[in-house]
């Protein structure tokens, strides 16, 4: 049964990532938009955490801050107790490549490379030998149901298929945390359920931690814990209200 797990109830779990008092704003010529406002958030090891909220509220921004992609103006982000933004850019590049997998809202696949090559990319950056990278990419693409699309380039894939290639790519280096921005955004209900089932399977088999941003109540209802981002702060959601 779905329930709200608060920090006290989940305190027996290990904290993988913790954001403390994070502020993030965007300055344009006309105004400053305060997106994250003293935001506190914990991600526990081995959970599938959902983040929901209205369009433009800052979900993608929050995901980027958690994954070492976007330095907040104030506040800290701790990964396994280490303050990641206290170090320089080369540390952050390495940190992301080793520990974090990203599935971006708009996939960010390389258009001139096949699905297989796109999935292999993070491993090649880490100098994993090519046959081993190919083998893992093939395994992951098979897992996400794209065995017959490996030689397709992004322009020859549907939106949902591109999203699944991005998921395979995100899992390539066996990250500690996979951050996925609307991974089911282009999928119908059936395909979305299949993808969430796959995510649950990877979570169970590999104890893979996921943080998923979603607009879908149906998806949110299938996750371990859901937080809603409102006015720059996150609040737990009672999932039984979502189903």
Ligand X SMILES: Nc1ncnc2c1ncn2[C@@H]1O[C@H](COP(=O)(O)OP(=O)(O)OP(=O)(O)O)[C@@H](O)[C@H]1O
Please give the residue ranges that form the binding site for ligand X (CB under 6 A).
26, 28, 33, 35, 53, 55-61, 105
Q: Which residue, judged by CB position, is nearest to Mg ion in the bound state?
A: 60
Write out the binding residues for Mg ion, residues 78-137 only, by CB under 5 A: 105
Minimum distance between the CB of residue 56 and ligand X, rounded to whole angstroms?
Answer: 4
By a kind-dependent CB cut-off of 5 to 8 A, residue 152 interacts, out of Mg ion, ligand X, none, with none
The contacts of residue 70 (CB under 8 Å, 6+ apart) are 24, 61, 64
Retrieve residue 230's tokens.
Answer: 């409102």
Dihedrals phi, psi of 178, to nearest 5 degrees: -105, 120
Segment near Mg ion (CB under 5 A); pick from 43-51, 60-68, 123-131, 147-155: 60-68
* Among Mg ion, ligand X, none, residue 92 binds (CB under 5-8 Å by kind): none
Q: Rounded distance, CA 43 to CA 100, Å?
A: 13
Q: Which does 203 bind (CB under 5 to 8 A by kind): ligand X, Mg ion, none?
A: none
Facing residues of 117 across strands?
none
Q: How far is CA 198 from CA 44, 57, 152, in A?
A: 20, 28, 22
Q: What is the DSSP letter of 148?
A: G
Strand 74-79 relative to strand 15-27, pairing: antiparallel
Q: Pick the closer one to ligand X by CB: 59 or 164.
A: 59
Residue 55 contact among ligand X, Mg ion, none, beta carbon within 5 to 8 Å by kind = ligand X
Q: Which partner, Mg ion, ligand X, none, binds residue 57 by CB below 5 to 8 Å per kind?
A: ligand X
Tokens of 8: 């006290």
Asked whether the beta carbons of 59 and 233 are under 8 A apart, the reply is no
Q: Does 60 bind Mg ion (CB under 5 A)?
A: yes
Minimal distance, residue 49 CB to ligand X, in Å: 16
Of 33 and 189, which CB lies nearer to ligand X in the complex structure?
A: 33
Find tokens 């081995």 and name the residue. 46
Q: In angstroms, what is the minimal distance from the CB of 151 to ligand X?
A: 31
Q: Which residues bind Mg ion (CB under 5 A)?
A: 60, 105
């Amino acid at each position: 049964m779905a329930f709200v797990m608060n920090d006290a109830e989940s305190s027996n779990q290990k904290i993988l990532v913790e954001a403390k008092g994070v502020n993030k704003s965007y300055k344009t010529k006309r105004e400053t938009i305060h997106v994250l406002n003293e935001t506190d958030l914990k991600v526990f090891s081995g959970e599938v955490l959902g983040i929901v909220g209205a369009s433009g509220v800052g979900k993608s921004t929050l995901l980027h801050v958690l994954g070492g992609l976007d330095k907040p103006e104030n506040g800290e982000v701790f990964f396994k107790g280490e303050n990641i933004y206290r170090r320089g850019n080369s540390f952050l590049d390495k940190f992301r490549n080793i520990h974090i997998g990203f599935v971006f809202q708009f996939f960010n696949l390389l258009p001139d490379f096949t699905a297989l090559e796109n999935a292999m990319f993070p491993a090649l950056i880490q100098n994993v030998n090519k046959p081993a990278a190919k083998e893992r990419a093939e395994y992951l693409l098979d897992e996400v149901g794209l065995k017959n699309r490996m030689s397709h380039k992004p322009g020859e894939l549907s939106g949902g298929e591109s999203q699944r290639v991005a998921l395979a790519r995100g899992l390539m280096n066996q990250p500690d945390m996979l951050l996925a921005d609307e991974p089911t955004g282009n999928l119908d209900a059936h395909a979305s359920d299949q993808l969430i089932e796959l995510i649950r399977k990877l979570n169970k088999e590999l104890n893979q931690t996921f943080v998923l941003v979603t607009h879908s109540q149906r998806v949110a209802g299938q996750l371990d814990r859901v937080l809603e981002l409102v006015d720059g702060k996150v609040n737990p959601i009672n999932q039984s209200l979502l189903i």
